[in-house]
Structure 1
């Protein structure tokens, strides 16, 4: 299923892998892969102008090679260290593309595209912690991305809890994680969507594996009852 929203065409492949295409032809991929989940099995489009990678859990060189064309720009969070990821075969700078590293709370103009980043992390005193009591996503180890294509701003907050700064993010199309466990859950995401008042909500980061299974239909009802347009791409 492909979702069309104003000037934007959106495809969700699973987990946080999203393809955005504007009417003027710009193609952006968010967090392609990882290959281990089979998200992009058989997919070899190589049409991406911009590839965004939010943190090390979503960094996958093979998936980037599947989606990026030869002149693509690959933007990765500054914390990604391939030497610490045993499933990958190359550091970002070893890929055959132009690569830029970014932190949180940055903004850029990339030709026809506007890009901004936001902090993404789990509160160490919150519910999204591992068996040792450490957050699954520590502060400083990832980011969210907002990208404006043909005047439409899509926002993927990353693997994160709801943070105070999220209430001030400009967004037309909101792509929240709703699986819980490692991120905000569907209740938190629905409440944030109501505060942001985007023109469309398309939930992601759920259902790919057991620990992020969720009743997405109930999320849709919850958001719709808050008078926010919402759709599933399944």
Structure 2
């Protein structure tokens, strides 16, 4: 899968259009594509678990992965469709996509407590390893992740800000970093430029969210 198949609809609403079509936290979706083979939910805040947007991307056999702490809510939406709850450190294989759950939390804020066991995800899809950080601070434990592409929040307030995200990416060392989670609710377009300016080469910063 190449980078052209990675899109951000809004905020942290991510689509990976590979041999398996994966959405993560679909939000503010306008087109009813109903093409999702797999939907990942990082946590149950309204801007990450949005049933109205899910209605527009999901089909009859869409599978769902979510934190085990949120799985009852997700299963209630999914109905008879497959919904799997994971804890940090667990993994699952669905439709040829290996999905590893990793921690996503705030170390010193109350918005995303560690005890909630909310998630980021590392996916192996079409010979590419993609890390979707979720709503998180730049956790030292996650710098051991190996990824070709890292999608990281930069908007501050609820997550890392641009400088913190750049420091995290510089420690993570992916080939490509894509900034998320700015412009719609928190953060502003200039955060993306600030982030790019502070990311070390040869890491490439690719902009996918245009606000």
TM over 0.5: yes
Q: Does the alignment pair 1:59 with 2:49?
A: yes
Q: Does the alignment pair 1:12 with 2:8?
A: yes
Which residue of the partner structure matches residue 93 of structure 1? 75
Rounded to whole Å, the distance in 2 between the matches of 1:145 and 1:19 is 13
Rounded to whole Å, the distance in 1 between the matches of 2:147 and 2:115 is 23
- Native 8 Å contact 1:179 1:214 kept in 2: no
Which residue of the partner structure matches residue 21 of structure 2? 27
1:227 to 198, 202, 211: 202
1:137 to 103, 106, 112: 112
TM-score (norm: length of structure 2): 0.89
Aligned-residue offset at 1:197: 1.7
Aligned-residue offset at 1:55: 0.5
1:78 to 47, 68, 76: 68
2:91 to 93, 97, 107: 107
Q: How many residues align?
A: 203
SS at match of 1:206: coil
**1:112-162 deviation line (CA, Å, top 9, x unaligned):** 111001111111xx3xx3xxxxx1111132111111111101111111111
Aligned-residue offset at 1:214: 5.2
Which residue of the partner structure matches residue 49 of structure 1? 37
Greater than 6 Å deviation, 4+ residue runs: none
Rounded to whole Å, the distance in 2 between the matches of 1:174 and 1:214 is 19
Q: Does the alignment pair 1:157 with 2:133?
A: yes
Aligned-residue offset at 1:222: 1.9
- Native 8 Å contact 1:30 1:53 kept in 2: yes
Aligned-residue offset at 1:48: 0.8
SS at match of 1:140: helix
Rounded to whole Å, the distance in 2 between the matches of 1:165 and 1:70 is 37
Q: CA RMSD in A?
A: 1.8
TM-score (norm: length of structure 1): 0.81
**1:195-219 deviation line (CA, Å, top 9, x unaligned):** 222121111011112x333521221
- Native 8 Å contact 1:173 1:200 kept in 2: yes
Rounded to whole Å, the distance in 2 between the matches of 1:47 and 1:140 is 33
2:100 to 108, 111, 116: 116
Structure 2 gap ranges (5+):
none
Rate the CA distance shift 1:193–1:63 in 2: closer, same or farther, 3 A. Answer: same
Aligned-residue offset at 1:226: 3.4
